[in-house]
Copies of this chain bind each other. A is one copy, B any other.
């Protein structure tokens, strides 16, 4: 399907930095004319844009792993779409591409950070999820940091999400006992029944510590942590000696909440290793990871679920929902 290029497009810029919780007024929808292409450039019409927790961090003007999102500029974000005009010899109209064109219906690129993708066996949207940055994040944390052996018990928080769901499924394929933590009975049922985890703890049910203990009778050997706070402390209390923790996210504290690790002693008494990581800093491993993930998705061995908001104007609300755990699976915005 090739779509004609309209004369204007919409984008969302950061209007202001959040004070605590993100509110719709932190964003502004703008309409811009489609620019003329210069030599070497191409124009992409985005089909989907990705919403990810890391974007919350970029909205802050704080010391972190990346420069803050600039006020008034297009919100950062991954996109998949189709080339609709090209003055770049490496890209043709109709090519499907993944890139970081932001919260925007269209984008101009010099092609350097765009990658062509094959949608023969893998749906375009999956390149923003299981076969994209979230999938790679899961793959990297599991294979490079957690390094579980068959028979070990691993725990994954935010288990139904774009990252957690991949961690758990890959863990099962390695022969691990996999326990998820998610918010709500629906998500937990999905994690166990659809994704094949051995158990899933509903942290909203109010018995997190006891439920996690019951689900991890042999303790925990490795954790993929997306949440932090009480959820992480509950896992720390169950760690076995020489446990490994891949620290991927602390979504419980993204709005500036105090986010202590209460169980600091466990790191010493259990000789734990914890490593925080950002998958974009390990690009050398992306080809290997993408190959494995792509093969699994193409053959139906890696399941995923998407929450799809319709139209760019719906992005702020969907993003705010994501931060509150309202999404169910990978959060996307469908643009066309």
Closest to A273 in B: B275
Give the residues in chain B near A247, CB-CB below 8 Å.
267-268
Contact indicator B259/A260 (Cβ below 8 Å):
no
Contact indicator A281/B271 (Cβ below 8 Å):
yes
Distance between A227 CB and nearest chain B CB, rounded to angstroms: 11
Known: A258-B262, A260-B261, A262-B258. A63 touches B268 (CB 8 A): no
Contact indicator A64/B269 (Cβ below 8 Å):
yes
Contact indicator A271/B265 (Cβ below 8 Å):
no
Distance between A240 CB and nearest chain B CB, rounded to angstroms: 10
Give the residues in chain B near A259, CB-CB below 8 Å.
264-265
Contact indicator B274/A267 (Cβ below 8 Å):
yes
Contact indicator B65/A271 (Cβ below 8 Å):
yes
With an 8 Å Cβ cutoff, the count of chain A residues facing the other chain is 33
Residues 256-300 of A, flagged 1 when their CB comes within 8 A of B and 0 if not, give: 001111101101111111111110010000000000000000000
Q: Does A134 contact B (CB under 8 A)?
A: no
Known: A253-B264, A261-B261, A264-B250. A269 touches B57 (CB 8 A): yes
Residue from the set A249, A250, A270, A274 with the largest chain B CB neighbour count within 10 Å = A274
Contact indicator A270/B261 (Cβ below 8 Å):
no
Distance between A136 CB and nearest chain B CB, rounded to angstroms: 16
Q: Does A228 contact B (CB under 8 A)?
A: yes
How distant is the Cα of A61 from the Cα of B63 in the complex, in angstroms? 42
Residue from the set A247, A249, A262, A269 with the largest chain B CB neighbour count within 10 Å = A269
Give the residues in chain B near A276, CB-CB below 8 Å.
267-273
Number of copies: 2
Contact indicator A264/B260 (Cβ below 8 Å):
yes
Distance between A138 CB and nearest chain B CB, rounded to angstroms: 16
Q: Does A77 contact B (CB under 8 A)?
A: no
Q: Does A241 contact B (CB under 8 A)?
A: yes
Distance between A280 CB and nearest chain B CB, rounded to angstroms: 11
How distant is the Cα of A64 from the Cα of B275 in the complex, in angstroms? 22
How distant is the Cα of A65 from the Cα of B268 in the complex, in angstroms? 8
Contacting A65 at CB < 8 Å: which of B65, B228, B250, B269? B269
Residue from the set A259, A261, A267, A277 with the largest chain B CB neighbour count within 10 Å = A267
Closest to A281 in B: B271
Give the residues in chain B near A270, CB-CB below 8 Å.
65, 276
How distant is the Cα of A13 from the Cα of B265 in the complex, in angstroms? 26
For this complex, 17 residue pairs linking A to B, each with C-beta atoms less than 8 Å apart, are A57-B269, A65-B241, A65-B270, A249-B268, A250-B264, A250-B265, A250-B268, A253-B264, A259-B264, A260-B261, A260-B264, A261-B261, A267-B274, A268-B276, A271-B275, A272-B274, A272-B275
A-side interface residues toward B, CB under 8 Å?
Answer: 57, 62-65, 228, 232, 241, 247-250, 253, 258-262, 264-265, 267-278, 281
